[in-house]
A and B are shown apart, each in its own frame.
Chain A
Amino acid sequence: MTGFLGGLHRTLHRIEDGLIVAVLLFMILLAVAQIVLRNFFGTSLVWIEPLLQNAVLWIGLLGAMIASRKDEHIRIDVASTLLPEKYHPILTTAVDLFTAFICVLVAWYSVGFVIEEYEYATPAFGNVPSWLLQAIIPVGFSVMAVRYVALFGLGLLGKRPKMQEPVA
């Protein structure tokens, strides 16, 4: 990938990586701040808890987006351990199409719901609007959908990374 698309690609990667690191750091700091406030100052801040809970959602989807870059998702892959390597492209082609379809399905209905939530204008807590926190869901599934379409395309060109389980 070169030029504009390549640049966009790298920028997206940097945004995802930066965001997920920032959310994790904020999580640690806010949680520790809450502990200190409660145990040493006998009080607590009302917005920390809901913010932390939503941070989990964001980490989940950002992490899932990043994992989709090279298709590093949890799976039960029986077929690829049983079948010889030369049949693997058939597996990945079907699997990529299916995954992309499911992600598009969720993203589509998710966008609809988030727009509705925006119109209802319900706050999640304080002045933070609920739609903003939920927006990571359609964004996440859209990005995953695009990535699985890309993986499908790479598969046709014979350049797709191997199907694998994430190994820590």
Chain B
Amino acid sequence: MITIAILLLILLALMGAPLHAIILGAAALGFYTLDIEMAVLHIDIYQLSNSVVLMALPLFTFAGFLLSESKTADRMLRLSQAAFGWMPGGMAFVSLIACAFFTALTGGSGVTIVALGALLLPALVKGNYPERFSLGLVTSSGSLGLLLVPSVPLLIYGIIAQQMSQQLDMPSVEIVDLYLAGLVPALLMIVLLYGYCVWATRGAAKAGHPIPRQAFDFRELVDALWEARWELPLPVVVLGGIFSGFLVVSEAAAVTALYVLVAEVFLYREISLRKLPSIMRDSMIMVGGILLILAVALAFTDYLVYAGVPEKLFTLIQTHVQSKIAFLILLNILLLLLGALLDIFAALVIMVPLILPVALRYGIDPVHLGVIFVANMQIGYITPPVGMNLFIASYRFKKRVTELFASTIPFMLVLIVALLMITYIPQLSLWLVR
């Protein structure tokens, strides 16, 4: 009976039932087998109002929507071009940097490809980069920066970890620590990808199609800086505010939202006051979808913990896996598979509650685990069958998903190398934190 119900839920999920309905169904089924009153679903959903950092999610997302509705992407592209265009593989490096920062600021979720992709792809092609290479670069860079402050997936990992741990159960998982820990791994990814780009395009010069560089022009750099004068202080405000302790993360989000609002509406005047309510509404619909998933995930987690599933899972894994290294290998395989199937938020809310307690017992630092998780998920953005970046790029560039996937394979391999380094060298994540 229960087995049939579980199979039915899986079938409905594959048929495209909203994820919140599936997770709620699973939680309800679980509680039903334990004979618990269904009002527990309400109690768990209400726990959404119990998080101290969750407020950052709507505020950062709103700021991201404002940035992508205005001409921020053009300014950012011009600026990075002026600053880095002279380097070998300059345009590729510009793409990486611009995407990383834009993704970090807008919280990922495909906005980057929509906003920057349309600018970067023609620029790359015009710069003599092969089209297939360019497509792959833009599509896979669209999730670069997920490990950089103020990334939303890292924030969500921190929220779940905090909810699970309260204050005493394990080494603290401060959001600030997660952001610090993500810094070096994110840079590692950028450096490796850049290295690959230079290597992959080395043949072009021999073939007589050298990739032109933009000569460094101080005047142009100053102009580009001046053009971006209202947006440039933003990272300083956010990072400075958080790391000086002047602001807690949720407050930094509020300051960001207010700052971006003033900059785009009153200083750049690229968004009219009349358009503002609809941008607010649209951004909050997306946030609502994510928050709903988070809320119902609380119910599902409650069921798992209540039924003692993490303990059972741990016992099961422990009988087969002895060492930390072996566990990490297993974890990477599992997360890459899941990342290929699940949306990043879904993967986080479903997997973190299961994995975190088990990983703790293998002596893995929860902050390091967060970085591993998000790094895996970042690769998940470009792996079929569910790769948000592939879908969005396909829609944006009018290319088939299979074609896009083929173009991203080399970049994916580079990212997997980075992932392995991040996983097996915890110091990369932790040396700024512990």
Contact = CB atoms under 8 A, between A and B. Distances in A.
Contact of B281 (A17, A64, A81): A17
A166 B49 CA distance: 24
Contacts of B343: 74, 76
Interface residues of A, number: 64
A156 interface: no
A34 B59 contact: no
A28 B283 CA distance: 14
B49 A53 contact: yes
Contacts of A64: 20, 288-289, 291-292
Contacts of A73: 18-20, 289, 292
A88 B284 CA distance: 28
Nearest to A88: B16
A143 interface: no
A27 interface: yes
B251 A61 contact: no
Given A17-B281, A56-B48, A57-B48, A74 B293 contact: yes
Majority secondary structure of chain A interface residues (helix, strand, loop or mixed): helix
B68 to A, nearest CB: 8
Nearest to B253: A31
A102 B16 contact: no
A146 interface: no
B19 to A, nearest CB: 5
Residue among B18, B28, B52, B246 facing the most chain A CB atoms (10 A cut-off): B18
Contacts of A121: none
Nearest to B290: A74
B428 interface: no
A99 B392 contact: no
Nearest to A78: B14
Interface in A17-58: 17, 20-21, 24-25, 27-28, 31-32, 34-35, 39, 49, 52-57
Nearest to B276: A21
Contacts of B261: 28
A59 interface: yes
Provide the main secondary structure of the chain B interface.
helix
B16 A114 contact: no
B326 interface: no
Contacts of A76: 13-14, 16, 19, 341-343, 346, 386
Counting chain A CB atoms within 10 Å of each CB, the highest count among B42, B250, B284, B388 belongs to: B42
B434 to A, nearest CB: 29
Interface string B277-307: 1001100111111111111000000000000
B114 A168 contact: yes
A75 B391 contact: no
B41 interface: yes
Contacts of A57: 46, 48-49, 291, 295
B41 A66 contact: no
18 contacts: A21-B280, A21-B284, A35-B247, A56-B51, A56-B54, A56-B55, A60-B291, A65-B288, A66-B285, A74-B20, A74-B346, A76-B346, A79-B16, A80-B16, A98-B17, A102-B24, A167-B114, A167-B391
Given A27-B254, A55-B55, A74-B290, 7 more contacts: A60-B294, A67-B289, A73-B292, A80-B16, A95-B17, A98-B25, A109-B37
